[in-house]
Structure 1
C-alpha cells in the first residue's frame, strides 16, 4: 500500500511502491467514487467542510471540483492513484486554510474507483475547455463572495485552474470563441490581482494586473489595483500614472480620487523627509 503525504495544496511525497496493474489514473473532471476509512483528524470534522467526508462511500464526485482545502488536498493524491487502488493519505494543512488557529493534520485510508474517466485533453474541443474554465471561474466567484479568508485563498487556486484551461485553447482553433475566452481570462486575472492585493503580495498583484492591462489597457479595476500595489511599494510615479489613466476613463470614481490624494500626501511626506535629511547633512 502506498502512502501519499500531502502538504498545502500541491506538494506530495509518495512513499512505497505500487505494482503495475494496467489500471488507469483518473483525469481532471473524471467521475470518481471514494471510500475513506480509518479517519483521524486533529480538529472537528465539520470545520473541514469536506464533501468527500460528508458523502456516502463511493458516492459520485467530479475530480477537480473541490470546494474546500481538505478536498483539494485529497484530490491531489487521487490524481496519482489508479482505479481501485487503496492507499494511505496523510494531509497537513495550515490552520488559515481551514479557518482554525492551529495547523490541521488528517489521515485516512482511501479506496478510489473511477466511474467514468474524462477524455484526454487532446480530445477536448475548445468549447469543452472553455466550459470547464467557466465552471471554475464561477466556483471561484462563489467562494470569494463568502468573504472568508480561507475561502478566498481557495478561490485564488480555482481562478488559476480556470486560467490553466483557457491557456490550453489555441487561438487559431477557436476564432469564434476568442472574445469569450479573453473575457473570462481577464476576469480571472482581475480576481487574482485582487487576492494578491488583499494578501499584501504587491509584486504578484502588479504582475496579474499587468497581464490584464496588456490586453485591456482601459480596465479601470486593474489600473486601480496596480496603483494601490505600487503605492504600497512606494512606486509613487507608476501609481500616479495608472490613476491618471483610470480617472480619464472614470472621472467620478471616488476610490481613484482618494488613492490619488493619498499618493500626493505620501510624496509630500517623502520630499519633506529628504529635505530634512539634506539640511542635516550640510548643516
Structure 2
C-alpha cells in the first residue's frame, strides 16, 4: 500500500511500490466512488466541509469539482492513484483555509483511501470545443458563486475554479469554434479579472498585474482591469504606470467612487515619496 503526503495542494511525497494495473488515474469529470476509513483529524470534521467524507457507500462523485480546500487536497491524492487502489493519505493544510477565524496553525488529516473509477472521463484533447466550453462555463460559474460567499476560504476555492476555467478555454482550437470566439473571450476576461482581484486581496501584486495585463491586452478599456492594475502598481511603487491606468479608468468612468478614491491614494503616495527623496537629498548635501 502506497503512502501519499499532501501539503497545501502539493504532492510532497509518494512512498511504496506503484503496481500499474493498466488503468489510468481519474480525469476531470470522471465519475468515481471513494471509501475512506481509519480517518484521524486534528480539527472538527465539520470544518473541512468535505463532500467525500459524507459520501454514502457506493455513492458516485464527479472528480475535479472539489469546492473545499480539504477536498482539493484529497483530489490531488486521488489524481496520482490507480483505479481500485487503496493508499494511506496524510494531508496538512493551513487552518485558515478551513476556518476564517483561525491563526497560522496547520491542520492534519490521515486516512486510508480507496478509489473506484466508475466512468473515466475523456482525455482533454478528445473533448469537442462545445464540451470544453461547457466545462469552462461550469468552473467559471462555480467560482463566481464561491467568491460571492465572501470568506477567505471560499475565495481561495474560487481562485482554483477560475484557473480551471481558463485551463479548459485555452485548449479550444479557435479555428473549430469561430462562432464562439466572442463568448470564449468574455469568459476568459471574466476569469482573469477575478484572478487579478484575488491576487490583490492577498497582496500578490505582481501576480495581480500579470492577470490584469492579460485582460487589457484583449480589452484596453476594461475599467476593472485598469483600476486593479493601478492599485497593484501603486503597492509596487510603480507610480507612473499606476497614474496612467487610473487616469484612463477615470476618463472612462468619471463618477466611479473607487476610482476617485484611488486617485487620491496615489497622489498621497507620490507626495510621500517626493518628500522622502527631498529629505534624503538634504542629508546627502548637508
Please give the TM-score of this superposition, normalised by the length of structure 2: 0.95
Q: Does 1:206 align with 2:209?
A: yes
**Coordinate RMSD, CA, aligned:** 1.3
Give the aligned partner of residue 45 of structure 1.
45
Give the aligned partner of residue 143 of structure 1.
146
CA offset at residue 194 of structure 1? Answer: 0.3
Q: Does 1:194 align with 2:217?
A: no
Residues 92 and 109, structure 2, Cα contact 8 Å, conserved in 1: yes
1:51-90 residue pairs with structure 2 within 5 A? 51-90=51-90
CA offset at residue 27 of structure 1? Answer: 1.4
The partner residue of 2:135 within 128, 132, 135 is 132
Moved more, 262-271 or 75-84: 262-271
1:165-204 residue pairs with structure 2 within 5 A? 165-204=168-207
Distance 1:107 1:7 in 2: 12
1:197-236 residue pairs with structure 2 within 5 A? 197-236=200-239
> Secondary structure at the residue paired with 1:92?
strand
> Secondary structure at the residue paired with 2:122?
coil
Runs (5+) with no aligned partner, structure 1: none
Distance 1:28 1:160 in 2: 13
Describe the superposition over 1:218-266 as per-residue Cα deviations: whole angstroms up to 9, x where unpaired: 1100000000111111111111100111111111111111111221122
CA offset at residue 13 of structure 1? Answer: 1.7
Residues 11 and 77, structure 2, Cα contact 8 Å, conserved in 1: no
Q: Does 1:11 align with 2:11?
A: yes
CA offset at residue 64 of structure 1? Answer: 0.3
Number of residue pairs aligned between Structure 1 and Structure 2: 283
CA offset at residue 204 of structure 1? Answer: 0.7
Query: Quick one: structure 1 residues 10 and 280, their matched pair in 2 at CA, closer, same or farther if it must change by over 3 Å?
Result: closer
Q: Does 1:266 align with 2:265?
A: no
1:245-256 residue pairs with structure 2 within 5 A? 245-256=248-259
Residues 36 and 57, structure 1, Cα contact 8 Å, conserved in 2: no
Distance 1:260 1:20 in 2: 60
Distance 1:72 1:156 in 2: 12
Describe the superposition over 1:90-140 as per-residue Cα deviations: whole angstroms up to 9, x where unpaired: 111111211143201111111111111111222210110111111111111
Residues 4 and 11, structure 2, Cα contact 8 Å, conserved in 1: no
Give the aligned partner of residue 36 of structure 1.
36
Give the aligned partner of residue 158 of structure 2.
155
Distance 1:85 1:179 in 2: 43
Residues 12 and 77, structure 1, Cα contact 8 Å, conserved in 2: no
Distance 1:253 1:210 in 2: 21
Please give the TM-score of this superposition, normalised by the length of structure 1: 0.96
Residues 213 and 222, structure 1, Cα contact 8 Å, conserved in 2: yes
CA offset at residue 12 of structure 1? Answer: 4.0
Query: Quick one: structure 1 residues 274 and 120, their matched pair in 2 at CA, closer, same or farther if it must change by over 3 Å?
Result: closer
Runs (5+) with no aligned partner, structure 2: none
CA offset at residue 21 of structure 1? Answer: 2.1
> Secondary structure at the residue paired with 2:193?
helix
Distance 1:248 1:239 in 2: 14
